[in-house]
Amino acid sequence: MSAAPRWDVEGRDWPNRASSRFVDTGRVRWHVQVMGEGPVLLLLHGTGAATHSWRALAPLLAEHFTIVAPDLPGHGFTSGRPAGGLSMPAMARAVGDLMRALDVTPGFVVGHSAGAAIAVRMALDGVCESDAIIGLNAALLPFPGLGAKLFPSLARLLFVNPFAPHFFARMARTQGETARFLLRSTGSRIDAAGIGFYQRLFATPGHCAGAITMMADWDLGSLARDLPRLQTRLLLVHGAADAAIPLSSARKAAPMVGNGGVVALDGLGHLAHEERPSEVAAIVRQFAEEP
């Protein structure tokens, strides 16, 4: 069992592999995929995922945009930790460093779940002045009810336990466990290939440790307080059957932003962009073309 995903093993037939490259920015060595032509559109995946989550959506968007899709620090095939660790502001700054290294300025940012929070943080902190942000099943507000206190505390407990990543990695190697976990935790039914890529990542303690560390460092309360300052156009596209983040969260967050809107996708879960990539691509393209 490898400590971190290996490009020549877990990444041997990675989706859109021909578009992959590795870029160094100080303490981080990024795996990033670049494809297409046109205005630059940045894709930021969520906690526990990697560029494979865009396997079908990225090529569709690449017909109209230059797509830049990195594995976030602690995830996938990106190695190293930015200054400040995996906290939201540190991740936002690190992605900004990558954009400068690539010499690109994203006009649009599409973020899934925690990736949407990073996109908003980038805009609020002046790291990226994009024209629009599209949040897919965005994690912008603290978890409702008791979960607001229990979730961060549990993540921190797992963070200080050095055996936790190895425990989750062993579970992921159990036949069918990754598929059951994804369905139970997201409400999404994705294809077997997608489940297989998640399983490869979950089976490596390094990837699990990155996801746990990111969750332990997450501060959605501060982001929620800052949301009314966001000037960038924001569209929240949310699967109505999301088992991780309820649709009500998007409907609560959007009015907090002067330029916020919501599109609900009936029957889809937290990984809606993997379930119906063509539908999500059309929504993104339409929103990007609006004045």
d(CA 128, CA 45): 17
In which domain, by residue range, is 228 found?
Answer: 17-145+219-289
pLDDT of residue 133: 97
Domain membership of residue 71 (yes or no) is yes
Domain membership of residue 235 (yes or no) is yes
3-class secondary structure per residue, the chain: CCCCCCCCCCCCCCCCHHHEEEEEECCEEEEEEEECCCCEEEEECCCCCCHHHHCCHHHHHCCCCEEEEECCCCCCCCECCCCCCCCHHHHHHHHHHHHHHHCCCCCEEEEECHHHHHHHHHHHCCCCCCCEEEEECCCCCCCCCCHHHHHHHHHHHHHHCCCHHHHHHHHHCCCCHHHHHHHHHHCCCCCHHHHHHHHHHHCCHHHHHHHHHHHHCCCHHHHHHHHHHCCCEEEEEEECCCCCCCHHHHHHHHHHCCCEEEEEECCCCCCHHHHCHHHHHHHHHHHHHCC
Domain membership of residue 278 (yes or no) is yes
Sequence-distant (6+) residues with CB within 8 A of 150 are: none
Closest CA to 58 of 76, 32, 80: 32
pLDDT of residue 146: 38
> One-letter amino acid identity for 206?
G
Q: Phi and psi at residue 66, in whole multiples of 5°?
A: -85, 115
Q: Report the pLDDT averaged over residues 206-227.
A: 87
In the predicted model, is pLDDT for residue 158 greater than 60? Answer: no
pLDDT of residue 7: 97
Q: What is the CATH number of the domain that holds 233?
A: 3.40.50.1820
pLDDT of residue 2: 54
pLDDT tens digits along 88-103: 999 999 999 999 999 9
Domain membership of residue 32 (yes or no) is yes
Residue with tokens 């090529």: 59
In the predicted model, is pLDDT for residue 122 greater than 50? Answer: yes
Q: Report the pLDDT averaged over residues 113-135.
A: 95
Domain total of the chain? 1
Query: What is the pTM (predicted TM-score) of this model?
Result: 0.92
d(CA 66, CA 216): 33
Domain membership of residue 65 (yes or no) is yes
Domain membership of residue 258 (yes or no) is yes
Domain membership of residue 192 (yes or no) is no
Domain membership of residue 125 (yes or no) is yes
